[in-house]
C-alpha cells in the first residue's frame, strides 16, 4: 500500500542512520551542501581539524497569527510597545537570518501552539474545517509554514483544543513533521507522533553534521483537553521522555541535539497534582538530561533571548531561548563546531531574539493567505445583534462590570436550560468568568460577531459541577489571591494591586449568583467576607451548580474542589459560540437588566471604589 503524505513525513522524521523508531522506516532528511567555515591547526596526529557553524531559527506560540492583524479590532495589530505579529513578518526575519548564515546551514523549527488563538484559526477549525492534505480548505498556518520551509514543529497543548481528527488533518497539510516524544498512544504507549527529526547538513570536503531535533509537548494536555484525549493518548513528563530519546539521538550519530519544548522554564505547574509531571519543565530538561546543546522554549508567552542552564551530570551549559509569542520575535541559535577524532563537537552555542516590528511583511506569505484572511474578516464583521449601552472590560480586574456579568448571565442561562426537568433543576446556579481581555468591549448600537467573540478569546467549553457552600467560599478565596495585600491607608494603584505572584488575568474568577466582598487588607485565604446567596449568608452545606469552563473544570489554575466535583452536564460547543447564539436569539443586550453589583473590593471593610 502506498504511503500517504502524513506517513511519509512522519517516517522520514522518526528515523536516522537506518534505525527506525516506533515501527517506522525511512531515510534521514538532509540539508544542502555547505562550505566548511575555516581550517585550524591539527590535533592528535597532526591532521587538520575543520570548524563549521550552523544556525537554528525558532518560533513559538504562533496561535493562528498568519498576518499582522487583529480580528477583534478589525485593524492591524498594535499594543503598548508596538509589537507586530504574524508569520508574514517572521518570514522576513527568517529570510534575513538564512541569508546571513547560508540557507543550506540554517534550520527553522517551532515550539507549538500553532492552530488556536485567532478567529483565522478558529474559522478553519469550526466554520470551514480543514479535512486533509489536499482536500477542501487549506489551513492558512500550514500554507504559510510550508512556504517558509519549516523543518519541524513541536506540538503545543492548544493543538488538541479542536480534537485529534482536526489535528491529524492539520498534520496531513504540513510538509514538515509535528513532533511530540511525550505524546503516546494510551494503550500501547508507543509514540502517537514522531518523537524527533534527524537532519544532515553537508559540509564541503568534510563529514556531514548530523542534527537531532527532539520535540516535547506539555503534560497538561491530559488535564486541559481531557475530553479530547482521555483513553486515546497519554502524556508522560518531558524529563522522563528526554532521558529516553536524547541518548537515542546520540546513538544515531547526532553531533548536535536540540529540543523544542512546549514548556516553560521554571518548574512551576498550574494544575496542582492532577498529573505527576511539571508543566514548565524546560530548565529541568536542560539540568537533568545530558547530551542537549540547546532548547527552544515555548508555552509561557515570555521573551527570554538567552538563558543558560548547567547540566547537573556533565557540567555543560545548555542554551535556552523563548521568542515571546504570536510571531513577535524570532529566536536565533548560532552553533559552532569543531571536527576532532573522527567526529564533530559543539564548541559554542549562543542565542538571541529578533523583533518582527523591525521588518515589513513578506509579500509572498501575505499573498498566500490573503484569500483565507478575507473570508475571516467578512465572517467576523457580520452583525449579530444590538446593545443598549456600551460595555467595557477595562475595569473588570478590580470592579464588578456589566461585561463580565453578561458572560456569567449567558453561562448561567445555558446551564439552567440544560438542567430543566432534571434532578438538579431546583439547585441555584452560579457561574464563573474571567477578565480574559482588558480591551474587550461591546459598543452601543449594532454588535458584530467579532465584538462578541472578543469577550471570550479561548476555545473553552462549558461544564456544570456541584459544589457546596463551603467549597464555593474556598473557590473564591483562591481567586482572591490575585490581589496584592494592601494595608489600610496605603496608596491604591489599580495597575499594581492585581496579578499578585504573577497570577494571569485568566486565572482570576468572578462568580455570579452570590454576593461577596474581597478585603485586600487581609492575608490570602481570609479575604472573602459578607458572602451571601439569595440575600442570606451562604449555607456551608448547601449545594450549588457552578457553570464553569472546561479548563477550570479540569484543574486549570489549580482551583480547589472543582476538578473532583460531580459533573451534571457538559457541552462540546465553545462558550464563545454560546454567547454569539444568545445574542442572535435575544437580538438585544440590555446591561440594565443584569449589570448589578455582585462583588466589590474593600480594605478593612471600606469599599475601595464607589
**pLDDT tens-digit map of 525-547:** 999 999 999 999 999 999 999 99
Q: What's the grid cell of residue 124?
A: 478553519
DSSP string computed for 365-396:
HHHHTHHHHHHHHHHHTSEEEEESS-EE-TTT
pLDDT digits (tens, 9 = 90+) for 355-389: 999 999 999 999 999 999 999 999 999 999 999 99
The pLDDT assigned to 13 comes to 63
The helix/strand/coil state of 84 is coil
| 528, 477 Cβ separation under 8 angstroms | yes
Q: Beta partners for 536?
A: 533
Model confidence at 173: pLDDT above 50: yes
Residues 600, 533: Cα–Cα separation, whole Å: 15
Q: What is the pLDDT confidence band of residue 41, given thresholds at 50, 70 and 90? A: very low
- Cβ–Cβ < 8 Å for 64, 121: yes
pLDDT for residue 571: 82
pLDDT digit string (tens) for 553-587?
988 899 999 999 998 988 877 899 899 999 999 99
- What does the pLDDT average to over 270-284? 90
Confidence of residue 253 (pLDDT cuts 50, 70, 90): very high
Supply the pLDDT for residue 7. 62
pLDDT at site 34: 44
* Residue of 19 and 89 predicted with greater confidence: 89
Query: Residue 350: which of 307, 414, 412 has the closest Cα?
Result: 307
269 pLDDT more than 90: no
Q: What is the mean pLDDT of residues 30-46?
A: 40
**Nearest partner of 594 among 533, 509, 512, 517, judged by Cα:** 512
Residue 32 has pLDDT above 90, yes or no: no
Q: How confident is the model at residue 26 (pLDDT cuts 50, 70, 90)?
A: very low
486 and 602 Cβ atoms separated by less than 8 Å: no
pLDDT tens track for 148-167: 999 999 999 999 999 999 99
Q: Count the Cβ atoms, other than its own, within 10 Å of residue 487.
A: 9
Residues paired with 184 in a beta bridge: 191, 234
Confidence bin at 25 (pLDDT 50/70/90): very low
Residue 19 has pLDDT above 50, yes or no: no
**How would residue 35 be classed by pLDDT, with cut points 50, 70 and 90?**
very low
The answer on pLDDT for 589 being more than 60 is yes
- Residue 124, classed as helix, strand or coil, is helix
Scan for cell 518523537, then name that residue.
195
Least confident of 142-146, 282-286, 385-389, 561-565: 561-565
Residue 402 has pLDDT above 80, yes or no: yes
Dihedral of alpha carbons 500, 501, 503, 504, sign: positive
242 neighbors 15 (Cβ within 8 angstroms):
no
Average pLDDT value for residue range 248-264: 98
Within 8 A by CB and 6+ apart from 477, the residues are: 524, 525, 526, 527, 528
Q: Which backbone phi and psi does 206 adopt, to 5 degrees?
A: -145, 175
Going by C-beta distance under 8 Å and a sequence separation of 6 or more, which residues neighbour residue 579? 407, 410, 452, 453, 455, 456
Task: Tell me how far apart the alpha carbons of residues 117 and 347 are, in angstroms, rounded to a whole number.
Answer: 39
pLDDT greater than 50 at residue 596: yes
The answer to whether residue 427 scores a pLDDT higher than 80 is yes
E-only strand ranges, 44-170: 47-59, 69-70, 75-76, 106-110, 152-154
The per-residue pLDDT of the chain, averaged, comes to 91
Could you identify the residue written with the cell 480594605?
603
Is the model's pLDDT at 33 over the cut of 70?
A: no
List Cβ neighbours of 198 (8 Å cut-off, separation of 6 or more): 15, 16, 17, 28, 29, 210, 211, 212, 213, 249, 252, 254
Q: Check residue 31 and give its pLDDT.
A: 37
Please state the rounded mean pLDDT for residues 25-51.
Answer: 44
Pinpoint the alpha helices (H) of 214-275.
Answer: 221-224, 226-229, 238-251
pLDDT surpasses 60 at 43: no
Q: Which cell numbers hold the place of 494?
A: 489599580
Residues 234-243 have pLDDT tens digits of 999 999 999 9
Pairwise pLDDT comparison (73 vs 57), residue with the higher score: 57
Closest CA to 366 of 119, 143, 135: 143
∠ Cα 298 300 301 (to 5°) = 85
CA–CA dist 121, 134 (Å, integer):
18
Residue 609 contacts residue 399 (beta carbons within 8 Å): yes
485-509 mean pLDDT = 96
Write down the pTM of the prediction.
Answer: 0.83
Decide which of 30 and 13 is more confident.
Answer: 13
Cell digits of residue 490: 496605603
Sign, Cα dihedral of 539, 542, 546, 550: positive
Q: What percent of the chain has pLDDT over 70?
A: 92
R_g over Cα of the chain: 26
Better pLDDT: 271 or 415: 415
Amino acid at each position: 500500500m502506498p504511503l500517504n503524505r502524513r506517513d511519509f513525513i512522519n517516517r522520514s522524521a522518526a528515523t536516522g542512520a537506518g534505525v527506525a523508531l516506533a515501527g517506522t522506516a525511512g531515510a534521514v532528511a538532509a540539508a544542502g551542501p555547505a562550505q566548511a567555515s575555516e581550517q585550524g591547526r591539527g590535533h592528535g596526529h597532526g591532521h587538520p581539524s575543520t570548524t563549521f557553524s550552523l544556525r537554528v531559527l525558532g518560533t513559538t506560540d504562533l496561535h493562528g497569527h498568519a498576518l499582522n492583524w487583529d480580528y477583534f479590532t478589525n485593524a492591524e495589530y498594535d499594543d503598548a510597545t508596538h509589537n507586530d505579529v504574524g508569520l508574514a513578518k517572521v518570514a522576513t526575519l527568517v529570510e534575513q537570518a538564512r541569508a546571513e548564515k547560508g540557507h543550506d546551514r540554517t534550520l527553522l523549527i517551532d515550539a507549538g501552539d500553532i492552530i488556536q488563538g485567532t478567529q483565522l484559526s478558529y474559522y478553519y477549525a469550526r466554520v470551514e474545517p480543514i479535512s486533509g492534505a489536499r482536500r477542501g480548505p487549506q489551513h492558512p498556518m500550514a500554507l504559510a509554514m510550508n512556504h517558509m520551509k519549516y523543518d519541524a514543529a513541536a506540538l503545543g497543548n492548544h493543538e488538541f483544543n479542536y480534537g485529534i481528527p482536526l489535528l491529524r488533518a492539520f498534520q496531513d497539510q504540513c510538509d514538515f513533521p509535528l513532533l511530540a516524544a511525550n505524546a503516546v498512544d494510551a494503550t500501547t504507549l508507543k509514540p502517537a507522533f514522531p518523537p524527533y527529526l534527524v537532519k544532515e547538513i553537508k559540509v564541503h570536503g568534510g563529514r556531514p553534521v548530523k542534527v537531532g531535533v527532539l520535540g516535547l509537548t506539555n503534560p497538561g494536555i491530559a488535564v486541559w483537553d481531557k475530553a479530547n484525549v482521555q483513553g486515546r493518548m497519554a502524556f508522560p513528563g518531558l524529563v522522563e521522555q528526554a532521558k529516553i530519546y536524547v541518548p537515542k539521538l546520540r546513538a544515531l550519530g547526532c553531533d548536535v541535539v536540540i529540543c523544542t519544548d512546549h514548556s516553560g522554564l521554571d518548574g512551576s505547574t498550574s494544575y496542582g497534582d492532577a498529573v505527576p509531571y511539571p508543566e514548565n519543565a524546560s530548565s529541568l530538561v536542560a539540568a537533568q538530561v545530558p547530551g542537549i546543546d540547546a532548547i527552544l522554549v515555548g508555552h509561557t508567552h515570555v521573551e527570554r533571548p538567552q538563558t543558560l542552564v548547567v547540566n547537573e551530570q556533565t557540567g555543560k551549559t545548555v542554551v535556552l531561548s523563548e521568542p515571546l509569542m504570536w510571531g513577535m520575535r524570532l529566536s536565533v541559535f548560532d552553533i559552532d563546531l569543531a571536527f576532532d577524532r573522527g567526529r564533530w563537537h559543539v564548541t559554542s552555542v549562543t542565542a538571541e531574539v529578533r523583533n518582527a516590528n523591525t521588518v515589513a511583511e513578506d509579500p509572498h506569505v501575505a499573498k498566500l493567505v490573503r484569500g483565507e484572511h478575507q473570508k475571516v474578516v467578512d465572517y467576523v464583521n457580520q452583525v449579530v445583534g444590538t446593545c443598549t449601552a456600551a460595555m467595557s472590560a477595562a475595569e473588570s480586574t478590580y470592579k464588578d462590570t456589566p461585561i463580565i456579568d453578561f458572560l456569567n448571565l449567558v453561562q448561567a442561562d445555558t446551564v439552567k436550560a440544560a438542567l430543566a426537568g432534571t434532578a438538579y433543576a431546583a439547585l441555584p446556579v452560579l457561574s464563573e468568568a474571567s477578565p480574559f481581555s482588558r480591551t474587550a468591549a461591546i459598543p452601543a448600537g449594532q454588535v458584530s460577531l467579532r465584538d462578541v467573540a472578543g469577550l471570550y478569546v479561548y476555545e473553552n467549553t462549558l461544564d456544570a459541577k456541584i459544589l457546596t457552600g463551603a467549597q464555593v467560599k474556598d473557590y473564591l478565596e483562591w481567586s482572591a489571591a490575585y490581589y496584592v495585600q494592601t494595608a489600610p491607608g496605603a496608596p491604591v494603584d489599580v495597575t499594581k494591586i492585581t496579578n499578585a505572584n504573577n497570577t494571569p488575568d485568566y486565572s482570576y474568577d468572578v462568580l455570579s449568583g452570590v454576593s461577596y466582598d474581597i478585603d485586600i487588607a487581609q492575608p490570602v485565604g481570609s479575604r472573602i467576607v459578607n458572602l451571601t446567596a439569595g440575600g442570606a449568608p451562604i449555607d456551608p452545606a448547601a449545594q450549588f451548580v457552578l457553570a464553569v469552563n472546561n479548563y477550570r473544570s479540569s484543574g486549570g489554575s489549580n482551583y480547589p474542589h472543582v476538578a473532583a466535583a460531580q459533573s451534571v452536564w457538559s457541552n462540546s460547543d465553545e462558550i464563545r459560540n454560546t454567547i454569539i447564539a444568545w445574542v442572535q436569539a435575544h437580538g438585544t443586550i440590555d446591561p440594565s437588566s443584569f449589570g448589578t453589583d455582585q462583588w466589590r473590593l474593600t480594605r478593612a471593610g471600606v469599599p475601595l471604589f464607589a
